[in-house]
Amino acid sequence: MIKFENVSKCYDNVNKAVDSLNLTIEKGEFFVIIGPSGCGKTTTLKMINRLIDLSEGTIYLDDKKISEYNIHELRWNIGYVLQQIALFPHMTIEENIAIVPELKKWDKKKIKDRITDLLESVGLEPEKYRHRKPSELSGGEQQRVGVVRALAADPNIILMDEPFSALDPISRKKLQQDMVKLKKKINKTIVFVTHDMQEALELGDRICIMQEGKIVQCDTPEAIINNPKNDFVRNFFKSANVYRASLFESDYSVKDLVDEGFIGEIGDKEGVGYVNAEESLEKLFSILTKEENIKIKQNEKIIGTLNMEHLVKFVANKLEKDGEI
Ligand code: ADP
Ligand code: MG
């Protein structure tokens, strides 16, 4: 658990880059911080691993103040991925990934096996890549190695600062998909900074929207879409095309979600109502603003249930694929 208590950062004694932040990030949560350039995202992130000192307030990690941790111990247990690929150019991929495990004095065999597993997990053939230098990899491949390196020593927390923003759209999409898979597999606390709402919607368990050093809204993607706190938040979604995103304008129907695998099992929480698979997304949306789950009927049979998360992820997916729906 990471807890911010009245945390502020002042670089110049005049403006607060981060202003009285109160925030709790739960263990295992994928927590996304989003907001326009200069709103304090990077500062917030770097205060967690003490790359930046706070001016006021306290940050706790598992109930202990971060200032009380040994700095090396703290850094080694927090993986960090940056926007710019920061691999060491003179070292091989294997050597780059091994840095923190070696600092932690893991034995050679354990490190080697770990690297094999990690490279495989992001689709890089270990024997092909381990002895290459970073310059022999594409941008997307290097960034994958950056992600893997942050995971290498099995940290409990991973901080990611716009890790995919320098990539071309295809590499970016692939890495986002890797992240979705990794997220399910590794169950780590991930704090992920982005300025891309589509990315935030796709990855975040919760999204924290910042403006001028303050939190504007912090909630699940579904709750924010259902209930944007003000025009700033609403506009942020608009910029991501999420509204135009044709919940209201597209030809997609409920069936399209189901066909793409967005469906849940029938539990005992659903009411008696159902929606037909031929219905529009607009209809589904309006139901899901009132009900947590709704059963789906296709060919006279109830085939499963949908919730707002399914809908949001489907729409986010389409936005990425089609530019807009
Ligand atoms: P973001 O990551 O959201 O773009 P930052 O956290 O990098 O924002 O910056 C927040 C504010 O703090 C900005 O106004 C920026 O100019 C200022 N700032 C960031 N780093 C420094 C620094 N080292 N010295 C002075 N001001 C800084
Ligand atoms: Mg930044």
Given CATH 3.40.50.300, say whether it is the number of domain 2-240.
yes
The pLDDT assigned to 93 comes to 96
Write the DSSP assignment of 182-220 as a string of letters.
HHHHH--EEEEEES-HHHHHHH-SEEEEEETTEEEEEE-
pLDDT value, residue 322: 57
Counting every residue written for the chain, the total comes to 325
Whether 41 lines ligand 1, by a CB cut-off of 6 Å, is yes
pLDDT of residue 270: 65
Q: In sequence order, what are the residues at sequence separation of 6 or more whose Cβ sits closer than 8 angstroms to the Cβ of residue 128?
A: none
Looking at residue 201, what is its pLDDT?
86
Distances (CA, A) of 200 to 68, 148, 204, 207, 209: 32, 20, 5, 7, 10
pLDDT grade for 111, boundaries at 50, 70 and 90 = very high
Q: How confident is the model at residue 246 (pLDDT cuts 50, 70, 90)?
A: very low
Q: What is the pLDDT of residue 244?
A: 45
Averaged pLDDT, 225-246: 72
> In the prediction, which pLDDT does 248 show?
52
The Å distance, Cα 231 to ligand 1 centre, comes to: 24
**Which residue intervals of the chain bear CATH 3.40.50.300?**
2-240
Q: Using the predicted structure, report yes or no on whether residue 31 has a pLDDT greater than 80.
A: yes
**How far does the centroid of ligand 2 lie from the alpha carbon of residue 154, in Å?**
25
Burial class (CB in 10 A: 0-12, 13-18, 19+), 212: middle
Query: 219 pLDDT exceeds 90?
Result: yes
Write down the pLDDT at residue 282: 78
The pLDDT score that the predictor gives to residue 205 is 94
Sheet with 274-276, side-by-side order of all strands:
274-276, 293-298, 301-307
- Using 50, 70 and 90 to split pLDDT, how confident is the model at 250? low
Helical packing angle, 108-121 and 139-151, nearest 10°:
130
Ligand 2 centroid from CA 85, angstroms: 14
Residue nearest to atom 13 of ligand 1 (CA): 38
251-319: CATH topology: CBS-domain (3.10.580)
Confirm or reject: Cβ of 161 under 6 Å from ligand 1: no
Closest CA to 225 of 279, 273, 285: 285
Report the C-alpha gap between 36 and 183 in whole angstroms.
25
Q: Which of 18, 42, 52, 193 to mutate to test the pocket of ligand 1 (most atoms within 8 A of CB)?
A: 42
Distance from C-alpha of 243 to C-alpha of 234, rounded to nearest angstrom: 9
Residues 6+ apart with CB under 8 A from 100: 76, 149, 152, 153, 155
pLDDT higher than threshold 80 for residue 243: no
pLDDT at 220: 93
Mean predicted confidence (pLDDT) in 10-29: 93
**Alpha carbon of 106 to those of 33, 120, 147, 248: distances in Å?**
33, 20, 20, 54
pTM for this entry: 0.78
- What pLDDT shows up at residue 67? 96
CA-proximal residue: ligand 1, atom 12 (nearest): 17
pLDDT of residue 245: 46
Confidence at 191, pLDDT banded by 50, 70, 90: very high
pLDDT of residue 73: 87
213 CA to centre of ligand 1 in angstroms? 10
Per-residue confidence band for 308, with pLDDT thresholds at 50, 70 and 90? confident
Q: Residue 168: is its pLDDT beyond 80?
A: no
Q: Which ranges in the chain are annotated with CATH 3.10.580.10?
A: 251-319
